[in-house]
Structure 1
């Protein structure tokens, strides 16, 4: 089978097409014939720097899986050959990545594909959906009537987070920087759009919550200004973030008795802590998708398996609008 490998960590041009033997699934695994995958910021970080959880060289990177079950381990009962599935394989230490024609993955990480979504849309969902679900549902316990603020509502995680928060019955506000991103956030169901470059935190907190603050604030933008999240949250509120690679003053958090949730969805696989929950989340997400309540936005540029480096460049450029998807099978539709 064809895969994209890297033999060193660095720029996007480190990807090289290689021919390797297909692996057989273990007792609790399935092998998936890949239809499409997508690019996530964590894939870029692994490719650039090879952090502690990077697989040994030369690895196949890539987290998101969307395809057809090709072989099944002897202990697997949830899936059969021919099932259409999706999930997060990881592409981290100890786990194969998705930048290839086939991938072997633990069955517990997978779920049946949403019936109403195309392969490209399905491939865009796993990592960002699990991340947003962990932040909003598992950790912050968003409930009907909550006022939720999502920083970066047009981003990969952010636009999915809007839809998940709305599905929980929340009133959702989100920050954006451009008209194009505002339109994406509106299409995803945001109740309020905040132009963060034009309005101070104190002003939109007063305008949207009568000065009380938001019940839940989720920094899905991966920025470094956690102080804005603390300022926007109500007393004893919940704050979640997808990055902590910066120094911050936690005294505003202490002063409001806030709860801070740091979310790394790969932690469940890296630490072996209930990885089956990932499959459970995606099963619930598929129900939302089939009810027309969850749908990813895809970037307009298209890439194939031979173009993985260019797909990474596209995401790194900051010009992508929606998830960057890589077609692996030929002839995929626009979705």
Structure 2
């Protein structure tokens, strides 16, 4: 599925596109499943043109799970036939496709406990949660963590990851999703439609901001001095961070196969589980974008590329 121009979901359409040649360290993956992330429709709308200019026709999508069918001459970590998952580089053709070419450093062995569809719903959102909580916040046992939007793709992995690291987890969500986030391990759930989180909680060590805007602004007040706000939504106000004696960072995910492998071990060991909410066929990707853009999807939106293989382990 490609786009020939920026615009609404309707610009997505089927096409045949020639595969690029494999570089010496590239692998060719026969792709069984992918998933939709908010970055997909932001790119489709043209919101990220300055950071990510596209060459049309462009293939979107930055999650893949499948089997390696060809390796470049210098590839050392993988072989033809390996079952893998990946968050590929964002500046190469994406994963809404039957085949995807990826540098081996961005690839990891698929956890055998996950189907290809489940595995395809992990890399981008899971690595984002990992980078926020492990790399930036240095999360540890006994810390109190506030995760905004706990029912979303990143939020639902962040809750599980924080619990796996021994933290106490507070999350915001709509009341309709409170049982879901509790099932992921949330210790305290705040219904953002009827409760103001900033009046309820204090002394938080880490805030994961998935929302930006006023949610981000209000989050400074709930942090304890020396705490950290990590945003994936927008760069935080550094003057405000100074006022509250906290750190505040924003980042754009840098994918990494070794980190993905570590994350995969948490799934293999039962410490985390995949969060597949809605599932669409690749040809129905327009509707998947509409759902993602609504902001009300629960967990990840999975996309089946090969219906015979996507559900296999």
Provide the TM-score with structure 1 as the length reference.
0.88
- For residue 126 of structure 2, what is the aligned residue in structure 1? 129
- For residue 188 of structure 2, what is the aligned residue in structure 1? 192
Cα distance change on mapping 1:18 and 1:264 into 2, 3 Å? same
- For residue 51 of structure 1, what is the aligned residue in structure 2? 49
- For residue 304 of structure 1, what is the aligned residue in structure 2? 281
Q: Does 1:161 align with 2:158?
A: yes
- For residue 267 of structure 2, what is the aligned residue in structure 1? 289
- Contact 1:24 1:31 (C-alpha < 8 Å) held by counterparts: no
- Contact 1:38 1:323 (C-alpha < 8 Å) held by counterparts: yes
SS in 1 for 2:14: strand
Cα distance change on mapping 1:5 and 1:249 into 2, 3 Å? closer
Q: Does 1:264 align with 2:264?
A: no
- For residue 272 of structure 1, what is the aligned residue in structure 2? none
Cα distance change on mapping 1:221 and 1:117 into 2, 3 Å? farther
Q: Does 1:144 align with 2:134?
A: no
Deviation (angstroms), 1:69:
0.5
Q: Does 1:313 align with 2:290?
A: yes
Cα distance change on mapping 1:141 and 1:120 into 2, 3 Å? same
- Contact 1:36 1:327 (C-alpha < 8 Å) held by counterparts: yes
- For residue 216 of structure 1, what is the aligned residue in structure 2? 206
Looking at structure 1, the residues matched to 103 and 258 of structure 2 have their Cα atoms a distance apart, in angstroms, of 13
- For residue 201 of structure 1, what is the aligned residue in structure 2? 197
Of 11, 14, 30, the match for 2:11: 14
- For residue 29 of structure 2, what is the aligned residue in structure 1? 32
Deviation (angstroms), 1:21:
2.8
Map Cα deviations across residues 263-288 of structure 1 (whole Å, 9 max, x no partner).
210xx3xxxxxx5xx11111011110
- Contact 1:224 1:244 (C-alpha < 8 Å) held by counterparts: no
Cα distance change on mapping 1:224 and 1:128 into 2, 3 Å? farther
- Contact 1:242 1:264 (C-alpha < 8 Å) held by counterparts: yes
Provide the TM-score with structure 2 as the length reference.
0.93
Deviation (angstroms), 1:334:
9.2
SS in 2 for 1:225: helix
Of 238, 241, 249, the match for 1:253: 241
Q: How many pairs are equivalent?
A: 310
Cα distance change on mapping 1:157 and 1:202 into 2, 3 Å? closer
Give the gaps of 5 or more residues in structure 2.
Answer: none
SS in 2 for 1:313: helix
RMSD: 1.8
- For residue 230 of structure 2, what is the aligned residue in structure 1? 240
Map Cα deviations across residues 15-61 of structure 1 (whole Å, 9 max, x no partner).
12111233332101100000100001111011011512132111111
